[in-house]
Amino acid sequence: MYKFIFDSDALIKLAKCGILEQICQNYKCIITTEVSNECIDEGKKRLYEDALKIEELINKKVLKILDLKISKQIKENLGKGGISTANLYFQEKNSIIVTDDSAFIKYLEEMDINFIIPADIVLLMKNSNKIDKKTALDYLERVKYFIREEVYNDVKKDIMED
Amino acid sequence: MTVVYPLKLKDEIMPLIELKSKEERTNKAIVLKQFLYKGLENYVIDLVNRGRLSVGKAAEILDLSIYDIHEIAKSKGLKLSATKEQWQKSKEFIHKYPS
């Protein structure tokens, strides 16, 4: 089974939508310490309640923080969380990056690194029979708030068709 | 780290700077800095929207959290997310993934 490595953008969006726990209970989900800092520490400092939701998943051990053994500077237009996420991908076999960050995706495409956007996790869960079509459509509605309309429409079509 | 940078401003804008500084009980340098940061914030969010800067880097530059960046984008009616072309690549993986 693939391990999902989340960047901060995707992790926060999925926590806000209320579907992160479901994902973490069905797949191996990991993050870096830098992503944890961005999502939990910085979020708690500014009183964002989604930071607590993410922390709870760490406490439940369904979302794990892994230490980096390698750390190289990658690109100047990426933040610490993104750079560490890419480094963790190089370290962890059978992994895929979950992100919705366009600039980060450009880098992943250049490097031929597998990635998946948050809306497609909903489709993946439905295709893997982890959720039914109705639940998938409900989840997609929650993600809709964060994704471009054309992506929402196409993912919806895929959920309906499959 | 901070830098000192000389700046020439038109006389005409100074009354407005003075007005804002009086209204907000602060000094003119802070008012100018607020305007500068507001412009910088707009520019940085636009770069993220065009996929030239990551959300994380934007947060670092503006000394904000990623949650704050999401909130700013929401207030501007922007969705900082993958493009349709990028989604196509993500979809390729879905078809390869063993269910």
Chain segment A97-123, per-residue pLDDT in tens: 999 999 999 999 999 999 999 999 999
* Residue A53 touches partner B, C-beta closer than 8 Å: no
Q: Would the pLDDT of A51 be above 90?
A: yes
Q: DSSP states of A85-113 as a string?
A: HHHHHHHSSSEEEE---HHHHHHHHHTT-
Residue A70: its pLDDT value, please? Answer: 80
**What beta strand segments (E) does chain A contain?**
3-6, 28-32, 63-66, 95-98, 115-116
Chain segment B60-88, per-residue pLDDT in tens: 999 999 999 999 999 999 999 999 999 99
* Residue A30 touches partner B, C-beta closer than 8 Å: no
Which residues have CB under 8 Å from A116's CB, separation 6+? A4, A96, A97, A98, A124, B90, B93, B94
Q: Would the pLDDT of B98 be above 70?
A: no
Which residues make beta-bridge pairs with A5?
A30, A97
CB contact under 8 A, B82 and A105: yes
Tokens for B78, please give them. Answer: 């922007």
Residue A145: its pLDDT value, please? Answer: 86
Q: Which of B52, B53, B71, B42 is nearest to A43 (CA)?
A: B71
The mean pLDDT of A156-161, rounded to a whole number, is 89
Q: Would the pLDDT of B53 be above 80?
A: yes
| Percent above pLDDT 70 for chain A | 99
Least CB-CB distance to A106: which of B51, B79, B94? B51
Residue A104: its pLDDT value, please? Answer: 96
Q: Which of B38, B94, B39, B69 is nearest to A103 (CA)?
A: B69
* Residue A51 touches partner B, C-beta closer than 8 Å: yes
Quote the ipTM score.
Answer: 0.91
Residue B99: its pLDDT value, please? Answer: 57
| Percent above pLDDT 90 for chain A | 83
Residue A57: its pLDDT value, please? Answer: 97
In chain A, what residues touch B76 (CB-CB under 8 Å)?
Answer: none
CB contact under 8 A, B55 and A109: no
Q: Would the pLDDT of A162 be above 80?
A: no
Least confident of A24-38, A140-154, B14-28: A140-154
The mean pLDDT of B13-30, rounded to a whole number, is 95
Higher-confidence residue: B96 or A112? A112
Q: Are A91 and A99 in contact (CB under 8 A)?
A: no
Domains, chain A, with CATH or none? 3-116 (3.40.50.1010), 119-162 (no CATH)
Q: Would the pLDDT of A17 be above 60?
A: yes
